[in-house]
Amino acid sequence: MRGYVPPEFVKEVLDRTDIVALVGEYVRLKRQGRNYVGLCPFHAERTPSFTVSPEKQFFYCFGCGVGGDALKFLMLQEKLDFLEALERLALRAGLSLPPQSRDPAWLARRRELEEGEELNRLSLEFFITSLWEEAGKPARRYLEERGVSEETARRFSLGYAPPEEEALLRYLQARGISKEAAVKWGLAVKTSAGRVVDRFRGRLVFPIIDPQGRVVGFGGRALDSALQPKYLNSPETPLFNKKNELYALAQAKDAIRAAGFAVLVEGYLDAITLHQFGFGYAVASLGTSLTQEQVRLLSRYTGKVYIAYDSDTAGEAATWRGLDILQQAGLEVLVVELPRGKDPDEFLRTSGPAAWEASLASALPLLEYKGKKLAAGGLVTARDKLRALRALLPNLACLRTLPEREEGIRLVSRITGLGWEVVRDELVRFTGEEKVTTRLKSDKSAKNKHEALESRACFAAEKGLLRALFRQPEILAEVEEAGGEELFTHPPCRAVYSALRGALAAGEDPSPTALAGRLPEEALDATAGVLVEEEESPPWEDCLRFLKTNLIRRKRKQLAGKLGLAEAKGDEEEVRRCLEELQALVNLERKGGERGNEREGEPSRAAGVPE
């Protein structure tokens, strides 16, 4: 439920928001003409099709069709409801939500999240205090043994959970936090006997902080080998889901942007050690299999990732799983190969910073690394070679440019021992099959080729006319006379036209940002697509003439169906009426054809509406 928010307030918030700056916090944008482009954060793609218009203050993805204003972007990106996103943008703009907008459901949701944030803040306060008190000696001894300095421990807000069953609970209860709340937010657990005890007792505690600086969860490392499991994370809560978070990203994001790349490691201490040695570009995947959500989060800050997981069997398996996820997100991927059995923490401490930098310099690109592993067992038979080739084809197909593909083809040829022509032909066959599959799926969505082309031409004309209406509202009367809403066959375009017409009739602001609040989501996508496209629209008169002709022909088709039914029933009066209406439409169409010199079913070449 949105609650009531005055449209003027929404418009003021959007007017004060720079959409390029907002989107740039999540997507790496590059200037391209009047717009900015980047990889879409809402679907997997390798070639940028996500466009942001600073002039129109809209975004649009030409790949998945999602578009809208800054408010919609934040709602989608952060999975917020309308009021949550509006409040966040308002705070950025130095504004506060009007009191009447605070509906009960939203207030309840906000209070719940604030409760979780406050409980996590208090818990972290307790853990940090405990680490540096007498009780924290075991944890400080462990940090000293691992070479973690006090400065680093404080920088990462490391803490300690004492072994007593209710140490944290007593601290929280003294500050008005109930046991039930502690259980709800994952700081306590209920035993089989029904008692409530601290979750992280006897552990070194690592707070998990999101890029906005909020403590969303915790990880704990047992200090006694008898305490199991060795590592323990917060459970999923309204604030925390470990598949969405990267450890140390809050500390690393600026260094990642400065370096132009990130290093992805497995464990907390791997990331912390790299930071302590001055390599502040390291983040950890929370000891879990890398997820698409984590990769999407990382891709906000860089297009290049080194993966440096542990060099044991489990680490190599995790590396292999993660490679394709990283590449499919459009990232350049390299693999850091460490000595067998070493993790980044141990390698850096025993071999030093120079050895680490050398390992980065010798990191293998994804294709070379996978090829090396596939060839390790020996590629002797033709079947072995072909199996290795087919395992590499999806990665080869991800290479964007012809020079990259040519180099990749020759590399795979060397790895497999197959001729480069064979590799090339298999790649063509592989990508060709993908194209056929895509084409077949596309064909199913249209009854036939002619209808698909006609629909595309109508859509182009509708968008062209809407662009003109946003620029020249004074042409509305002529559009209304030609058919108004009936001219638009695509529901999103029709909704945009209806909202625009309503605003003009009421003497209200007809700008896209002012209309955004009253449009359904699919219409907001259409508005964004209309405004963000840079291609030149044909003259609005040609678009209008084409749509008017199309409307006449649709009416003729409907009347022809009615005429057939009337003849079958022997209803002479209905037959006569249908014939008269058909003749009037034919005359109207002929008159329009003489004016526009249009071809059968298509706009004139001068109109420029795409076929």
At 42 the pLDDT is 86
Query: Alpha-carbon distance 263 to 334, whole Å?
Result: 9
Question: Which residues are CB-neighbours of 370 under 8 A, at least 6 positions away?
Answer: 320, 323, 391, 392, 395
Is a pLDDT exceeding 60 seen at residue 16?
yes
Say if CB 495 and CB 502 are below 8 A apart.
Answer: no
Q: Where are the beta strands (DSSP E) in 14-165?
A: 30-32, 35-38, 50-53, 58-61, 67-68, 159-161
**pLDDT tens-digit profile of 119-128?**
999 999 999 9
At 611 the pLDDT is 37
Query: Alpha-carbon distance 29 to 45, whole Å?
Result: 15
Cα radius of gyration rounded to whole Å, the chain: 31
At 609 the pLDDT is 41
At 576 the pLDDT is 78
Is a pLDDT exceeding 60 seen at residue 602?
no
At 591 the pLDDT is 63
E strand or H helix at 307? strand 304-307
At 451 the pLDDT is 58
Q: How far is CA 60 from the centre of its chain?
A: 12
33, amino acid identity: G
Query: Alpha-carbon distance 235 to 220, whole Å?
Result: 12
Q: What are 220's strand-pairing partners?
A: 205, 232
Q: Which of 219-228, 539-548, 567-576 has the lowest mean pLDDT?
A: 567-576
Is a pLDDT exceeding 70 seen at residue 476?
yes
Say if CB 603 and CB 458 are below 8 A apart.
Answer: no
More confident residue, 380 or 453: 380
Average pLDDT over residues 7-34: 89
Q: Is 386 helix (H, G, I), strand (E, B) or coil?
A: helix
Q: Which of 160-164, 214-218, 457-461 has the lowest mean pLDDT?
A: 457-461
576, amino acid identity: R
At 468 the pLDDT is 87
Q: In this structure, what are the phi and psi dihedrals at residue 70, rounded to the nearest 5 degrees?
A: -60, -35
At 460 the pLDDT is 82
Q: Which of 237-251, 444-458, 597-611 has the lowest mean pLDDT?
A: 597-611
CA-based nearest residue to 578, from 557, 548, 549: 557
At 82 the pLDDT is 85
Q: What are 67's strand-pairing partners?
A: 60
CA-based torsion, 354, 355, 356, 362: positive or negative: positive
Q: Which of 111-120, 382-391, 503-512 has the lowest mean pLDDT?
A: 503-512
Average pLDDT over residues 380-409: 89
CA-based nearest residue to 272, from 155, 98, 441, 103: 155
Question: Which residues are CB-neighbours of 177 under 8 A, at least 6 positions away?
Answer: 119, 122
Q: Is 333 helix (H, G, I), strand (E, B) or coil?
A: strand
Question: Which residues are CB-neighbours of 25 under 8 A, at least 6 positions away?
Answer: 300
At 517 the pLDDT is 61
Nearest 10 degrees: Cα torsion 341, 346, 350, 355: 80
CA-based nearest residue to 47, from 325, 278, 264, 330: 330
Residues counted in the chain = 611
Query: Alpha-carbon distance 105 to 109, whole Å?
Result: 6
Token representation of residue 295: 């990769």
Q: Is 506 exposed, middle or buried (CB count within 10 Å of its CB: 0-12, 13-18, 19+)?
A: exposed
At 273 the pLDDT is 98
Asked if the bond preceding 235 is cis, omega within 30° of 0, the reply is: no
**C-beta atoms surrounding 370 within 10 Å:** 22
Regarding pTM above 0.95, the answer is no
Say if CB 182 and CB 172 are below 8 A apart.
Answer: yes
92, amino acid identity: R
CA-based nearest residue to 84, from 75, 92, 73: 75
- Percent of the chain whose predicted confidence (pLDDT) is above 70: 86
More confident residue, 597 or 20: 20
Query: Alpha-carbon distance 486 to 309, whole Å?
Result: 60
Is a pLDDT exceeding 70 seen at residue 555?
yes
CA-based nearest residue to 469, from 525, 553, 518, 527: 527
**C-beta atoms surrounding 574 within 10 Å:** 15
At 470 the pLDDT is 85
Average pLDDT over residues 462-485: 88
Q: Name the most confidently modeled range: 358-372, 479-493, 552-566.
A: 358-372
Local confidence band at 606 (pLDDT 50, 70, 90 cut-offs): very low
More confident residue, 288 or 390: 390
Query: Alpha-carbon distance 256 to 9, whole Å?
Result: 37
- The 8-class DSSP code of residue 552 comes to H
Query: Alpha-carbon distance 193 to 331, whole Å?
Result: 49
Is a pLDDT exceeding 90 seen at residue 536?
no
Token representation of residue 86: 């509006």
Local confidence band at 565 (pLDDT 50, 70, 90 cut-offs): confident
End-to-end CA distance of the chain: 42
**pLDDT tens-digit profile of 252-304?**
999 998 999 999 999 999 999 999 999 999 999 986 689 999 998 898 888 89
> Which residue is associated with the tokens 């208090």?
122
**C-beta atoms surrounding 80 within 10 Å:** 16
Q: Which of 25-39, 94-108, 124-138 has the lowest mean pLDDT?
A: 94-108
Local confidence band at 453 (pLDDT 50, 70, 90 cut-offs): low
Is a pLDDT exceeding 70 seen at residue 200?
yes
More confident residue, 509 or 219: 219
Helix axes 249-259, 268-276, angle to 10 degrees: 50
Query: Alpha-carbon distance 575 to 189, whole Å?
Result: 79
Average pLDDT over residues 115-141: 97
Q: What are 305's strand-pairing partners?
A: 262, 333
Query: Alpha-carbon distance 312 to 47, whole Å?
Result: 34
Q: Which of 115-124, 382-391, 487-496 has the lowest mean pLDDT?
A: 487-496
More confident residue, 71 or 596: 71
Local confidence band at 55 (pLDDT 50, 70, 90 cut-offs): confident
At 209 the pLDDT is 96
Query: Alpha-carbon distance 501 to 383, whole Å?
Result: 66
Is a pLDDT exceeding 90 seen at residue 103?
no
CA-based nearest residue to 463, from 537, 554, 549, 553: 537
At 513 the pLDDT is 67
